[in-house]
Amino acid sequence: MLAELRGLNEECGVFGIWGHEGAAQISYYGLHALQHRGQEGAGIVTKEGKKFHVIKGEGLVNEVFSGNQINDLKGNSAIGQVRYSTENGRGIENVQPLVFRSTTGSLSVAHNGNIVNAVELREHLERQGSIFQTNSDTEVLAHLIKKSSGSLTQRDRVKKALSMLKGAFAFVILTDDGLMVAQDPNGLRPLSLGKLGDAWVVASETCAFDIIGAEWIRSVEPGELIIINDKGLQSDRFAQAADPAMCSMEYVYFARPDSDIDGINIHSARKRCGKRLAREVHIEADVVTGVPDSSISAAIGFSEESGIPYELGLIKNRYVGRTFIQPSQELREKGVKMKLSPVRQVVNGKRVVMVDDSIVRGTTSKRIVNLLKEAGATEVHVVIASPPLVSPCFYGVDISTDSELIATNRTIDEIRELIGADSLTFLSAEGMLEAIGRPDNTKNCGQCLACFTGEYPTEIYSDTVMPHKKEIV
Amino acid sequence: MLAELRGLNEECGVFGIWGHEGAAQISYYGLHALQHRGQEGAGIVTKEGKKFHVIKGEGLVNEVFSGNQINDLKGNSAIGQVRYSTENGRGIENVQPLVFRSTTGSLSVAHNGNIVNAVELREHLERQGSIFQTNSDTEVLAHLIKKSSGSLTQRDRVKKALSMLKGAFAFVILTDDGLMVAQDPNGLRPLSLGKLGDAWVVASETCAFDIIGAEWIRSVEPGELIIINDKGLQSDRFAQAADPAMCSMEYVYFARPDSDIDGINIHSARKRCGKRLAREVHIEADVVTGVPDSSISAAIGFSEESGIPYELGLIKNRYVGRTFIQPSQELREKGVKMKLSPVRQVVNGKRVVMVDDSIVRGTTSKRIVNLLKEAGATEVHVVIASPPLVSPCFYGVDISTDSELIATNRTIDEIRELIGADSLTFLSAEGMLEAIGRPDNTKNCGQCLACFTGEYPTEIYSDTVMPHKKEIV
Amino acid sequence: MLAELRGLNEECGVFGIWGHEGAAQISYYGLHALQHRGQEGAGIVTKEGKKFHVIKGEGLVNEVFSGNQINDLKGNSAIGQVRYSTENGRGIENVQPLVFRSTTGSLSVAHNGNIVNAVELREHLERQGSIFQTNSDTEVLAHLIKKSSGSLTQRDRVKKALSMLKGAFAFVILTDDGLMVAQDPNGLRPLSLGKLGDAWVVASETCAFDIIGAEWIRSVEPGELIIINDKGLQSDRFAQAADPAMCSMEYVYFARPDSDIDGINIHSARKRCGKRLAREVHIEADVVTGVPDSSISAAIGFSEESGIPYELGLIKNRYVGRTFIQPSQELREKGVKMKLSPVRQVVNGKRVVMVDDSIVRGTTSKRIVNLLKEAGATEVHVVIASPPLVSPCFYGVDISTDSELIATNRTIDEIRELIGADSLTFLSAEGMLEAIGRPDNTKNCGQCLACFTGEYPTEIYSDTVMPHKKEIV
Amino acid sequence: MLAELRGLNEECGVFGIWGHEGAAQISYYGLHALQHRGQEGAGIVTKEGKKFHVIKGEGLVNEVFSGNQINDLKGNSAIGQVRYSTENGRGIENVQPLVFRSTTGSLSVAHNGNIVNAVELREHLERQGSIFQTNSDTEVLAHLIKKSSGSLTQRDRVKKALSMLKGAFAFVILTDDGLMVAQDPNGLRPLSLGKLGDAWVVASETCAFDIIGAEWIRSVEPGELIIINDKGLQSDRFAQAADPAMCSMEYVYFARPDSDIDGINIHSARKRCGKRLAREVHIEADVVTGVPDSSISAAIGFSEESGIPYELGLIKNRYVGRTFIQPSQELREKGVKMKLSPVRQVVNGKRVVMVDDSIVRGTTSKRIVNLLKEAGATEVHVVIASPPLVSPCFYGVDISTDSELIATNRTIDEIRELIGADSLTFLSAEGMLEAIGRPDNTKNCGQCLACFTGEYPTEIYSDTVMPHKKEIV
């Protein structure tokens, strides 16, 4: 599915490095590889001795770090973030990493995920006199660390603070004497540890290791706090590991095809989902086409298993960026198409299987089915390489309220009719779990299925809302 | 093959429209669809009554036309160009369309191709007192038109001027009373005519019609001069059609997969080349992968025919742009990879068929083979969906001198060894012609094979050089 | 003296407005008029109902607020700041107004001045669990307000917080139900109250009122807290007024000639200083010239009183901005002059009186004397329209350590020799006070003379340093 | 008078250098000093051996040459231009220097002035087959040079071409073996020759020599062609010198106060005009104020002679640039003032003499008189340091048609009433000529008075129009 065309968005990617003289440059390339996880802001904080240097800005990594200014980011440790932001979370003050300055030493934090009790914790902290400069749940962690009793060591203060958080979180924390990395007790968001020569690196996805030539070591474990400093790496825990529950949508849609999550390659998992789908449904058709970019792997798998030839039936327009002039309503009605073009000769007179990774509101699916039919497809069979999305995510994916999801309270056939397809098939949940094939023996093979089932792996607070929906004026 | 990684470049795309109130906007979207044909400059000229408005600049279409300035391009006729430029042809003065102002009426010209007798014509014109402000062979046409006897009609002056040109050219010419479109006698560069409501449109590739919702009517014919004005469209000829000789590399590499050239879809032609290749060679292998973006279609075809599964073994980095900070030599040596990443889990321990569309200097092929082997491929079999490139192109493709071409004066096995592949196979010329499948009964099925064979369809002047190689100081 | 050429810098200008539908635009023009008080950052915060909108950035007002984005700043109340920043205070996070988000209502603060006990207060707050995101002393005020007992009204919390601050401060504070304005007990920084129709406005200088057509009402009084909300304006006090001590350098150098401070016009005061100087010294000379821009008024006064003709002997280069390419050392040695040019015909063969407002390190004075002599001046008599600067300022002017001041520990004649002048005269302190002519009967006529005398009107803490000198890493 | 507020604009400044390794950088600083002569475009062409390098763009010098690109301008000779352009002359193609490429050697031209027979020459050239790419009269010169018989030497071809031009022109011409400099037979535009070490430099104003540390040698003479090459400098003539007729408005308004024209310093000349004016009229008043920037010198002179104190009654807003957000009509009506502020305390209750250099349409004068009265001035006496402008200029100043000039067909008293002044006085023509004090014994002391008298020093063609008014579509 086309990220640009709908409201299903990952909220961030994080990166960290300790002990490399090119820390800022390495972070730049690492964040660049994570760019698909957030295109609205980017930042890098480096540590030079006790001094923290910061560059942050709105826009893509290569827009924020243009020219030579990256050379101002001196020091051999760094953390960084790329950020997706919703309406309420916009503004330069919300771009991470956040930096907290103190006469006794500074602290910088970057975060991927969503803390479901952030509002409660924030109200609690405000009652104790804390003031906040962002809308971000990330700021809560810094306050909790600061508020912890001064008699504790820093590590213990961080552990105590982390233990108060509920929800999904992958944190990288830079202090004046170390890099800390933490993963929530369910391990809801991916976070990997690697080595680049003698330096330690950490990233939301392994594709960030490949670009910098780092070696993957392992995933950060649920409930784990890793402390890296000049003495080496230590593993600690701030919480018991709960049932592992890696976000299914990372496999289905978010992660890059060349990343691995917990040892499973994303492209391969998606291809297996496509194959499994071809075993779950039989369609008489002439061509299989995928909706670029994220559905290509599943489409290839579907084609391979079904024997129906795979074709480029839809072409994505590579150069459409944010600065692109949008066609006027009049021109749009006259047929100006942006972003996605059907390939007439490929689909004209053909029965087409259109593979997509998921359906959110259904409006995009409807448009693409229509594009294919206008280009001459005689039948369009939509097959979706994941189960229907019926429940909101509270763990950092921007599909917030039930009402927006086309599959909530609708039958498959009602959805099919709404999007104008000749048939519509979703992959079964079992099929998806088997196809992805995580080794866990635990419930749901260690995957979170909340958006497909409404069963959430963590407590959900009565006030639980996406932080960007709770309007903090 | 990755355009960014090597020196095989198309030199332009052109667009024209007559009789549409949104002429500038339509041209913007049209040029945008042609962006792959030239990323270094763009321009649009509109005609409002007798007045010509111009916006040109270096950069991508959406960089040149940012903000609201496109609204300054009033008028209901327009021509435009996207431009690739070599070292000597840089600079804003070379960005097209060129505009020639005259007290008796203005003229604007945009061009795709290369005029092989440009230097001879230029010297001739200079001896007669002409002065030139660009290095471009396009300027020659305007001078020839102007120099023609004043007693001729404008149409006859244009015909006479066109008849003096040798080489490859697709021209769009905007005058104060019409839009003229011309194709060289061999039809070396693609140029299509379409309709958008009542308006006529012309474009280098049909993908520009799809984006604006225009209908394809036909290709402009070799030797044809089309004159469009408020009375309608007239077809004339400035030359006898010679043997048709459409550039083969348009099918192989340049054109967008969703474009058709002379009724043949590019993706489909490439896929057939891939299939044919799989019939011409037998390889024992585990996976097939294509070098993105242009080789994907051939790789799919190869996989389908050979039965070897198609995988995403190589991922292209979407966000690498011109403003991207390049890694230092030191970081590059430490392994920082840009633009292309192998997918380790897909290729590790596998025998890989790597499909590419062509090999130019071989340096990129060598690098990709090496990337795949470092990622664990046990064997890398390179298959190329076109014959070896052995001769320079004089018709608008930037592969200028023999010495740069790895296949000139080398055996297949020598090339294989240089790029480090376990085997290397090129598609045969016959195979390519059959797979593309143009309907012509003429020589080479109406394709130009000069870069594969050294046999040129036009005269080649003793001074024939690429205009950007002849240094005009 | 040329601000660009030396280290004597005002630290900010502030602006506020309550009750005007064009609040953001009015603030933009107001800040623009205050641009000379800070060129390195600018920001505006507006309040729309309970919602705060923010735009901040590094650069000039018209760079930060380019395009249409100012229209996003909805609401009919606003505060804004222009900022000068020293090395340690750079970075977007230090640009004001600061915004503090809270579930119970937000708060925004902008500040001009320097709080001398900021470090002590900060350490105190950190011990109580506060965390800081900036290096700015402004953040301290917000924490103090928040920390105050919850049983107090907001007004009382603000008063209590303000009463803990020592030093120079002019605050504008936007809360969700009002605009508060506070002036330190000595009134060290200028701050004026005005009306624009029914709306209240406040600004560091009255020139901001003139540009928007507002009427000056009065100065904010030392120790006063003004609360403006929809019920009107109330005046309160958070402290007893101490001896008034308006910064003398505002009259001498910082403020715009068209501003009035406490009813005294700046140009007129400077001209009177020039006249007084001409009465304090007798010089035989041919021409009087001022160092643009700030010394022009004094030079005119000196000329008028002495009868020596006033001439443009030095021209300032209007277009030299931050993006200007600096000449290489080699070119500089070859004579490339930027920023200031002597007018050869005016000074050649003449005895020149060069009037400047002050001397800081002396390096610029030396250069200008040298420029004049190279241009043919036979004698250069430097007259300074203020007393020698001998002590650092702790109240918001960036002349921080004694060692940089040429006049500390040097006789007038030693300074004269260092700068290469034929004579050197400073205005006496009494002369300056009389010439400025504030009506106060109090000590020093209500002016702060600390930088001339080392006698500070407030306590100076043992740790007192400029916040940008205390390195908070 | 404020250039920004009215339509009286110089059309260019030119610069040239031969034989300096830092030719591009030196040109940059030189053009920078000439920036006041044109703010809408800038360009530099350098010559490296036979190769010409070009950078041109719209905007200020420091906008066009930002970053490091100036280092691409290799070579030790250069010419450059800053450009003012009217509506019809906009667009990058009109930015100079123009470059003409030829197989036998290139040519680059930059120009200040206006050729009154450009249209005739252009029509003549077009009939001979020349085509034009700009609206500029500068292009005509290049065509004329090219068209000249090939048997002539280049110098003779240039002389022949120059001899065909009528009007005002100062040309710098860079060829592959020399730098040529030409001045029209009346010497209507200033052009000076200087030396920088061993290198020769040429510039429209001497302030460009001061910034680079060059020594002024002499003015280029009317009708002179200077040829500079590696053998040295040669002076030739392409025409008999006619009556010298230096543009009076250069002294009155255009040139920088620190420039000298034909040995007369501009500031000093203006001051003498102000003094003369004070002798020509007696006014009872309290203060004298000048309209910044160009009237300051005259105001100082008026004050000195009349004994009425000089004050800063009007302040120019330094930071108002092209990117500045203009106030809405509503805000303007509410009093938002840009660009110019009266200083209330200086003018309130006073009888003010407001000195300006000239009046064009009168709208600005009316506004300033009004500003002063609103600020409390009891009387405003406008004195103008030049005679009334009654006729259009055809020599490169943008005051094109009589109808726009308030003084055409109006009595002084009618003008006074229109602008709302209490009295209005213009300097007499004799007064101006004597005050400027050129040494020539010739008619009008060698000054052109055409705009004051309607008597033009050259032929005026029936078609004579400003090139930007003749619409060449």
Q: pLDDT digit of tens for each residue in chain A (473 aa)?
A: 444 333 445 579 999 999 999 999 999 999 999 999 988 899 999 999 999 999 999 888 988 997 778 888 999 999 999 998 654 556 777 889 999 988 778 899 999 999 999 888 998 898 888 888 887 888 999 999 988 766 888 899 999 999 999 999 999 999 988 999 999 999 999 999 999 999 999 999 999 999 898 999 999 999 999 999 999 999 999 999 888 999 999 999 999 999 999 999 999 999 999 999 999 999 999 999 999 888 999 999 999 999 999 999 998 877 666 566 767 777 766 666 767 889 999 999 999 999 999 998 898 899 999 999 999 999 999 999 999 999 988 898 876 555 688 998 899 999 999 999 999 999 999 999 999 999 877 788 999 999 999 999 998 774 444 433 333 33
- Render pLDDT for B429-440 as a digit per residue (tens, 0 to 9): 999 999 999 987
B25 touches chain A (CB under 8 A): yes
Residue A294 assigned as binding residue = yes
Residue A252 in any domain: the answer is no
Q: Identify whether the C-beta of residue A162 lies closer than 8 Å to the C-beta of residue A148.
A: no
B125: three-class secondary structure by DSSP: helix
Residues of D in contact with C275 (CB under 8 A): none
Q: Which of residues 160-219 of D touch B (CB under 8 A)?
A: 176
Which one of A44, A258, A297, A323 would you mutate to disrupt binding with B, by most B Cβ within 10 Å of its Cβ?
A258
| Nearest CB partner across the interface for D319, out of C22, C60, C265 | C60
Round to whole Å and give the CA distance between C434 and C448.
14
Residue with tokens 């009789």: B19
Q: What is the pLDDT of residue D465?
A: 45
D134 at interface of B, judged by CB pairs closer than 8 A: yes
Give how many domains chain A has, as a whole number: 2
**Is residue B6 very low, low, confident or very high in pLDDT (cuts 50, 70, 90)?**
very low
Round the average pLDDT of chain D to a whole number and report it: 88
| Nearest residue, CB atoms, B258 vs list A29, A65, A341 | A341
Asked if residue A357 belongs to a known ligand binding site, the reply is yes
> Does the residue C248 lie in any domain?
no
Same-domain status, B449 and B344? yes
CB atoms within 10 A of CB C232: 10
Same domain flag for C367 and C313:
yes
Active site residues of D: 12
Separation between Cα atoms, residue B462 and residue B460, nearest integer Å: 7
The CA distance from B396 to the nearest CA of chain A, in Å, is 23
Q: Which residues of chain C have pLDDT under 50?
A: 1-8, 87, 462-473
Chosen for mutation from D73, D258, D294, D320 (greatest number of chain C CBs closer than 10 Å) is: D258
Count the helices and strands in chain D (H runs, E runs): 15, 23
Consult the annotation and say whether D356 binds a ligand.
yes
In a domain, C260, yes or no: no
Task: Dig out the tokens for B391 from the structure.
Answer: 């001769």
Window 149-168 of D: residues touching C by CB (8 A cutoff) are none
Q: Flag if D143 and B133 touch (Cβ within 8 Å).
A: no
Residue C417 makes CB contacts below 8 A (sequence gap 6+) with none
Residue among B36, B265, B343 whose CB faces A258 most closely:
B343
Q: Give yes or no for A100 touching C (CB within 8 A).
A: yes
Reference A285, options A423, A178, A173; nearest CA is: A423
What percent of chain D clears pLDDT 90, i.e. is strictly above it? 66
The verdict on residue C40 lying in a domain is yes
Average pLDDT, rounded, for chain B: 88
Does B325 reach chain A within 8 Å, measured CB to CB? yes
C288, C364: one domain: yes
Residues in A touching B29 (Cβ below 8 Å): 327, 331, 336, 338
SS3 A78: strand
Which chains lie within 8 Å of chain A at 3 or more CB pairs, if any?
B, C
Helix (H, G, I), strand (E, B) or coil at C34: coil
Residues 6+ apart with CB under 8 A from A333: none
C236 and C278 in a single domain? The answer is no
- A280: amino acid identity, one letter: E
Q: Could you tell me the residue range of the domain that residue A273 belongs to?
A: 266-468
H-helix or E-strand spanning residue B356:
strand B351-356
**Residues C337, C225 within the same domain:** no
Q: Is the pLDDT of residue D158 over 90?
A: yes
Is the same domain home to B167 and B287?
Answer: no
Q: Are B12 and B84 contacting, i.e. CB atoms less than 8 angstroms apart?
A: yes
Residue B95 tokens read as 């960005």
Q: CB contact, 8 Å: B341 with chain A?
A: yes
Last residue of a domain, one of A242, A258, A275: A242
Answer whether residue C254 is part of any domain.
no
Tell me: pLDDT of D160 over 70.
Answer: yes
D310 in C contact zone (CB under 8 Å): yes
Q: What is the pLDDT of residues B188-222, one digit of tens each?
A: 999 999 999 999 999 999 999 998 989 999 999 99
Identify the closest residue of chain A to B300 by CA–CA distance.
A310
The pLDDT tens digits for B262-294 are 999 999 999 999 999 999 999 999 999 999 888
Q: How far apart are the CA of D273 and the nearest CA of chain C, in angstroms? A: 14
Q: Which of C49, C101, C131 sits opposite A134 (nearest CB)?
A: C101
Could you list the beta-strand ranges (E) of A116-220: 167-175, 178-183, 192-196, 199-203, 215-219
Partners of D337 on chain C (C-beta within 8 Å) are 210-213
Q: Are residues A216 and A299 in the same domain?
A: no
Distance of alpha carbon D361 from its chain centroid, rounded?
19
- Using CA atoms in the order C160, C161, C162, C166, what is the torsion angle rounded to 10 degrees? 110
Tell me whether residue C19 is in a domain.
Answer: yes
Q: Using an 8 Å CB-CB cutoff, list chain C residues near A131.
A: 100, 102, 107, 130, 142-143, 146
Among residues A165, A35, A168, A157, which one has the least CA distance to residue A100?
A: A157
Of B386-390, B396-400, C196-200, give the lowest mean pLDDT range: B396-400
Touching check for C63 and chain D: CB below 8 Å?
A: yes
* Residue B466 pLDDT greater than 70, yes or no: no
CA of A73 vs chain C CAs: smallest distance (Å): 12
* Nearest C-alpha in A relative to C96: A93
CATH code of the domain containing A355:
3.40.50.2020
Nearest to A283 by CA among A296, A274, A271, A292: A274
Residue B448 predicted with pLDDT over 60: yes
Say whether both C102 and C135 belong to one domain: yes
Same domain, D228 and D293: no
* Residue D342 touches chain C, beta carbons under 8 Å: yes
Tell me the CB-side half-sphere exposure of residue D89, using CA atoms within 13 A.
24
- Alpha-carbon gap, residue A31 to C421, rounded angstroms: 58
D70-129 residue pLDDT tens:
888 999 999 999 998 654 556 777 889 999 988 778 899 999 999 999 888 998 898 888
What span, in angstroms and rounded, lies between the C-alpha atoms of A53 and B163? 65
pLDDT of residue D34: 94
pLDDT one-digit tens code per residue, B104-132: 788 999 999 999 998 889 988 988 888 88
Q: Is C257 on the interface with D (CB under 8 A)?
A: yes
Residues D167 and D292 in one domain: no
Q: How many CB atoms lie within 10 A of CB A433?
A: 21
What CA–CA distance (Å, rounded) separates A361 from D208? 65
Which chain A residue lies closest to C95 (C-alpha atoms)?
A: A93
Q: Do A50 and C473 touch (CB under 8 A)?
A: yes
What is d(CA B377, CA B422) in angstroms, rounded to the nearest whole number? 11
**Nearest alpha-carbon partner for C416 in C431, C429, C406, C403:** C406
Q: How confident is the model over B43-64, as a mean pLDDT?
A: 92
Angle at C94 between CA C92 and CA C97, to 5 degrees: 100
**Span B65-79, average pLDDT:** 89
Local confidence band at B68 (pLDDT 50, 70, 90 cut-offs)? confident
Assess if residue A173 is contained within a domain.
yes
- Does residue B323 sit at the D interface (CB-CB below 8 Å)? no
Among D242, D274, D309, the domain boundary falls at D242
Which whole number is the average pLDDT over D327-333?
A: 71
In a domain, B395, yes or no: yes
On the question of pLDDT at B324 being above 80, the answer is no
As annotated, the active-site residues of B are: 12
End position of a domain, from candidates A181, A209, A242: A242
* Inter-chain touch D91–B54, beta carbons under 8 Å: yes
Confidence (pLDDT) at C29: 92
Instruction: Provide, as residue numbers in chain A, all residues whose Cβ is less than 8 Å from the Cβ of C130.
Output: 129-131, 146
Name the residue facing C29 among D33, D336, D342 (closest C-beta): D336
Respond yes or no on whether the N-terminal peptide bond of residue B97 is cis (omega within 30° of 0): yes
> Between A and B, how many CB-CB pairs are < 8 A?
184
- Does residue C322 contact residue D263 with C-beta atoms inside 8 Å? no
Say whether B247 counts as a known binding-site residue: yes
Of B91, B129, B131, Cβ closest to residue D54 = B91
Going by the annotation, the residues of the binding site of C for [4Fe-4S] cluster are: 247, 393, 448, 451
The per-residue pLDDT for D188 is 96
- Determine the pLDDT at residue D468: 36
Same domain for B286 and B159, yes or no, is no
Cβ distance of C100 and A472 shorter than 8 Å: no
Domain CATH number, residue A218: 3.60.20.10
Q: Would the CB atoms of B257 and A312 count as touching at under 8 Å?
A: yes
Are A148 and A283 found together in one domain? no
Burial of B88 (0-12, 13-18, 19+ CB in 10 A): middle
- Name which of A212, A325, A341 is nearest B335 (Cβ-Cβ): A212
Question: Residue A314: which residues within 8 A CB-CB, separation 6 or more?
Answer: A289, A290, A291, A292, A340, A341, A342, A343, A354, A368, A371, A372
The CA distance from A238 to A107, in Å, is 19
Instruction: Dihedral sign for Cα B94, B100, B106, B111, please.
Output: negative
